[in-house]
Amino acid sequence: MSSRSSSVPTSMGIPPRRRRAVAQAATFLGTVALTVPLLAACTTGSTTPGPDASAGDSAKFTIAIASDLDTVDPAQSTTTAAMNVIDYGTQGLTVLDDKGSVQPALATSWDVSEDGKTLTFHLRKGVKFQDGAAFTATAAKFNLERLLDTTIKAPQRTPYTVISSVDAVDANTLKLTLTQPAPDLVKQLASTPASFISPDSVTKDGNTYKNIVHPVGTGPYAFKEFKSGQEATFTKFNDYWGKKPYYGTVVFDIVPEANTRESMLLSGQADMIVSPPVADLKQLKANSSVSVINAPSVRTIFMAMNNQQPPFNDEKVRQALNYAVDKQAIIKNILGGTAQVADSPLPVGLSGYCKAGAYPYDPEKAKALLKEAGVGDLSVVLGSPSNHYVQDIQASQAVAGYLSKVGVTAKVETTDWPSYLANITAPLEKQQYNLHMLGGAAVGLDAQTQFNLLRQKNWPPASTATSFYTNPQVETLINEGLVETDQTKRDADLCQAQKIIWNDAPWIFLWTQNQILAHSSKVEGITTIPNEKYNTISARPVK
C-alpha cells in the first residue's frame, strides 16, 4: 500500500522516485502559491483612516486601555475608564488638578451663600463648543437638568440630587439652589457626569436626548468616532479656549490583555499603556525606552468583616485580624510595591481625610486579643474577587495565610464579579462569606462616597455597606460634617469619625492601590489624578 517506485518505464531521464519527490514538492509549492493570494484576500479587511490631515499637527498619540467603553455619554458614565476617555472632549464647571484639588474650568470663580444653599458660578467668556456653538449659562443649565432628569440613565447622579434648581441668571452666570449645604458639590462638579455637551448636538450625529453617542464638548480634543471593542479617536480642537495640546490625534485602543498592552508599548504600537502586568514592572522600570508611573490613587482595598455575626461582632476580634496581617509584605511581594498601607478608612486625597491610626504587623498581639475575646481556633469563609482589582485573589490568599498563623483558618472562595457582587450584597441572613475583599474609590474625591460604605442606611440588600457596620456616634458626626460649611469644624467632625471607625475596625484595613501607567520615554508631560485618571493632554515629545 505504500508508494514504491513504479515499474512503469519513463521517457524522462530522472529516476521515478526523484520525479515523484519533485512533483510533490511542486504541488506543495503550488498550493502555497495559491494560498498566499487567498490569504491576501483575507487581509483586505478593515482599515482605519489616517489622522485628520487638515489638523495642524499630524502627530498621533496612542493609548492602550484595558476595557471597552460602555458609553461616551457624560451623564451616563459610570466606569473610570470611560470617564477618562470622555474627559478629553468635555469639561464641566470645575476640574481636578493632579493633586486632586479643585480648579476653575468653565467657571472662573464661584460664590457660596451664608447658609450654603446657593452656589453662584461666574462662567468663562468666549468659550466655544466643538460644533461652533457658544458656551453659555443656558447650555450649562441644559446639561445639569439633563443629568437630574430621571428618564436619563445616570448611575452616578446621586451626588447632584442635592440641587433643587438651576438658573441661568445671565449669559455668564449660573445659579444652583440646593436642598441642603453640600460643601463637596463644587468638587463633584468636576466629575464627568456633570460635564457639558452642546445642546444643539443632541439631535445630530446619531445623538438623541436619551443617549449621546457623539459627545460635543468644549475640551481640547473633539470626539471623532468610537468603534465598539476597537478604538476611540479624538482630534485636536483648534478653537479651544485654553492651552492647545501638541498631538493632533489621540487614539484609545481597547486591548483587554495586559501582556499584549505591554507588547504594544515595547513594539512602539502604543505610546502609553494602562495597568501593565505587575510581574513585569521590574523589567519595565529597567528598560530605558520605557517610563513607569506609579502614582497613588484613592482606590481603597479592604477586607470587610460581617460586623453583625459572631465572633466579628466583637471589636477585639476585628482589631486582632488587623494586627495579624503584614500589609507591607503583601504590598512588596505580591503587588510589586504598587500600593500604600492604609492609615484611615478614607484614603489620602479624599477631602476630609485625616490619619486615623496604625495597625502594625503584630501576630502576638493578634493572638492575645483573640484570647481576650474568648475565641479559640476559628474557621471562616473569605470571599474574594478574581481579576477585578490588581492581584486581588493572590492578596486574599496571602491574607488567609497570615490569618492561619494566629489560629484563624480562612477558606478562600471566589467567583465571577457579578455573582460576587450579588453574594456580598445579599441580605444579612443570606451572607455566605464571613469576610470579603472589596475596593472603594470615590471618583469625585468626596468623603461622602467613601463613608457610604460604612453607614447603616446602605446595608445590603439596599446598597453596598457590606460590613453591616454602624456606630451612632459616627453616623451623627458624618451627618453633621457633610453639611458643615465651616471648613475647620467639618474637618474636625470627619476626622473624629475616621478615628472612631479606625478603632472599631469594621474592616481589615489593607492598602490604597496605586495607578500604574507605562509610556514611551520619548514622551513627557503625562500626569495623573488621584481618582485613578491619567491625563496626556499636555503630553509632548521629549526635546
With binding defined as CB under 8 A, does residue 267 bind other proteins? yes
Within 14-33, which residues bind other proteins (CB under 8 A)? 20, 23-24, 27-28, 31-32
User: DSSP code of 280?
Assistant: G
Is the backbone peptide bond immediately before 311 cis, with ω within 30 degrees of 0?
yes
Among the listed residues 140, 189, 264, 350, the single contact to other proteins using CB under 8 A: 264
Identity of the residue, 127 or 284, whose beta carbon is nearer to other proteins in the bound complex: 284
With binding defined as CB under 8 A, does residue 432 bind other proteins? no
Minimum separation from the CB atom of position 224 to other proteins (A): 14
Torsion angle in degrees (nearest 10) through CA of 312, 316, 318, 322 = -160
Among the listed residues 269, 287, 294, 309, the single contact to other proteins using CB under 8 A: 269
Identity of the residue, 73 or 326, whose beta carbon is nearer to other proteins in the bound complex: 73
Among the listed residues 120, 263, 386, 456, the single contact to other proteins using CB under 8 A: 263
Contacts of 390 (CB under 8 A, 6+ apart): 275, 278, 335, 338, 339, 513, 516
Within 482-541, which residues bind other proteins (CB under 8 A)? none
| Residues composing the chain | 543
**HSE-CB of 437 using CA atoms within 13 angstroms:** 30
One symbol per residue from 462 to 481: x for binding other proteins (CB under 8 A), - otherwise; what is it? xxx-----------------
SS (H, E, C) 395-411: HHHHHHHHHHCCCEEEE
One symbol per residue from 340 to 359: x for binding other proteins (CB under 8 A), - otherwise; what is it? --------------------
Within 62-91, which residues bind other proteins (CB under 8 A)? 64, 67-68, 70-71, 73, 76, 78-79
- Number of residues in contact with other proteins, rule: CB under 8 A? 79
Among the listed residues 11, 13, 33, 42, the single contact to other proteins using CB under 8 A: 42
Contacts of 522 (CB under 8 A, 6+ apart): 289, 541, 542
CB 62 within 8 A of CB 270: yes
Within 121-180, which residues bind other proteins (CB under 8 A)? 150, 153-158
Contacts of 353 (CB under 8 A, 6+ apart): 344, 346, 347, 447, 498
Contacts of 30 (CB under 8 A, 6+ apart): none
Identity of the residue, 28 or 238, whose beta carbon is nearer to other proteins in the bound complex: 28
Other CB atoms within 10 Å distance of the CB of residue 225: 16
Minimum separation from the CB atom of position 3 to other proteins (A): 5
What does the DSSP assignment read for 95-109?
Answer: EE-TTS-EEESSEEE
Instruction: Give the range of 225-233, 469-477, 509-517, 528-536 binding other proteins by CB under 8 A.
Output: 225-233
Identity of the residue, 3 or 379, whose beta carbon is nearer to other proteins in the bound complex: 3
Among the listed residues 87, 231, 326, 493, the single contact to other proteins using CB under 8 A: 231
With binding defined as CB under 8 A, does residue 300 bind other proteins? no
Give the separation between CA 158 and CA 211, rounded to whole angstroms.
19
